[in-house]
């Protein structure tokens, strides 16, 4: 399989050369995906916890809808955000289309349901376990949210990483709302699509290997933080 050999060689050369174009693409990919995950987490963690603690009519529907939205096709999310941000759309005035900001918005839409749905499930289980203790402390449900989120933090880190995986892997949404503009909105996944369409398969696969390495690094960093926290807690 000579193609694969040259892909690994290409990946290695890409990394060793520290090509400024590639560096820009890598930095933008991380900025977009990490920002999207951060924003999504800030919204989805409390939302998921609230959904675990409150009982109200239509809650079942909401839970199912959130679970289903975990499977939202990126290209649909991209199209929706495109229509929203297009000059002819309701938020066209912002001039966000074909900027990194638009890419963040689209990825938030993709990541939010994943974090919210999985948080709901984790917090619900934890709540069942500690319900009596929490009640004896006399905590209101609103006060329980930070407590339960904090107690579930190690599991929730994996949840957030799942969200990051989704953001860094998707191409359908960022392609539509970013436009894959060289030096402005080109990220790892859209660069891979472009090189594939040029028939430059070793370079495309090489970029894929670099992307996998990056995602691996982010996960390793998160793992390290988790382990340190675990050890400190004893």
Partner 1 sequence: MRTRHTLTALGLMSLSLTAVAQDETPYITLASTTSTENSGLFDAIIPQFSETSGIDVRVIAVGTGQAFEIARRGDADSLLVHDTAGEERFVAEGYGTERADVMYNDFVLIGPSEDPASIREAETVEQAFSRIAEAEAPFASRGDDSGTNRAELRLWEAAGVEPDGEWYRELGSGMGPTLNTAAGMDAYVMADRATWVAFDNRQNLVLLFEGDDALFNQYGSVLISEEKHPHLKHDLAQQWHDWLLSDAGQQAIADFEVKGQQLFFPNAE
Residues interacting with partner 1, by CB under 8 A? Answer: 28, 31-32, 34-35, 38-39, 42, 86-89, 92, 97-101, 104, 179-182, 184, 194, 196-201
Q: Kindly list the distances between the CA atom of residue 31 and the CA atoms of 78, 113, 187, 192, 222, in Å, as whole numbers in the listed order.
A: 18, 20, 10, 18, 16
107 within 8 A of 74, measured Cβ to Cβ: no
Query: Smallest gap, in angstroms, from Cβ of residue 201 to partner 1?
Result: 5
DSSP string, 181-229: -TTTT--HHHHHHHHHHTT-HHHHHHHHHHHHHHHHHHHHHHHHHHHHH
CB of 61 to partner 1, least distance (A): 31
Of 31 and 219, the one with the shorter C-beta distance to partner 1 is 31
Query: Is 77 within 8 Å of 177 (Cβ atoms)?
Result: no
Residue placing its CB nearer to partner 1 in the complex, 92 or 165? 92
Nearer to partner 1, 155 or 179 (CB): 179
The nearest distance, CB 127 to partner 1, in angstroms, is 21
Shortest distance (Å) from residue 86 CB to partner 1: 5
**15 or 201: whose CB is closer to partner 1?**
201
In the complex with partner 1, the residue whose CB is nearer, 158 or 200, is 200
Name the minimum Å distance from CB 180 to partner 1.
7
Cβ proximity of 181 and 97 under 8 Å: no
Separation CA 234–CA 231 (nearest Å): 5
């Amino acid at each position: 399989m000579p193609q694969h050999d040259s892909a690994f060689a290409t990946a290695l050369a890409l990394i060793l050369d520290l090509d400024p174009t590639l560096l820009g693409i890598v930095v933008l990919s991380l900025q977009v995906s990490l920002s999207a995950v951060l924003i999504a987490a800030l919204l989805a963690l409390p939302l998921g916890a609230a959904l675990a603690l409150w009982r109200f009519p239509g809650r079942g529907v909401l839970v199912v809808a959130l679970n289903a939205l975990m499977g939202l096709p990126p290209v649909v999310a991209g199209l929706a955000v495109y229509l929203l941000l297009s000059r002819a759309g309701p938020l066209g005035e912002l001039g966000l289309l074909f900027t990194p900001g638009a890419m963040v918005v689209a990825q938030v839409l993709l990541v939010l349901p994943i974090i919210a749905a999985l948080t709901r499930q984790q917090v619900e289980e934890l709540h069942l376990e500690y319900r009596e203790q929490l009640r004896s402390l006399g905590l209101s449900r609103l006060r329980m949210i930070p407590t339960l989120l904090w107690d579930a933090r190690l599991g929730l880190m994996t949840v957030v990483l799942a969200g990051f995986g989704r953001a860094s892997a998707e191409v359908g949404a960022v392609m539509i709302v970013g436009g894959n503009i060289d030096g402005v909105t080109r990220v790892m996944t859209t660069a891979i699509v472009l090189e594939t369409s040029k028939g430059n398969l070793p370079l495309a696969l090489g970029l894929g290997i670099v992307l996998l390495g990056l995602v691996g690094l982010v996960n390793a960093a998160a793992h390290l933080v988790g382990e340190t926290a675990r050890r400190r807690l004893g």
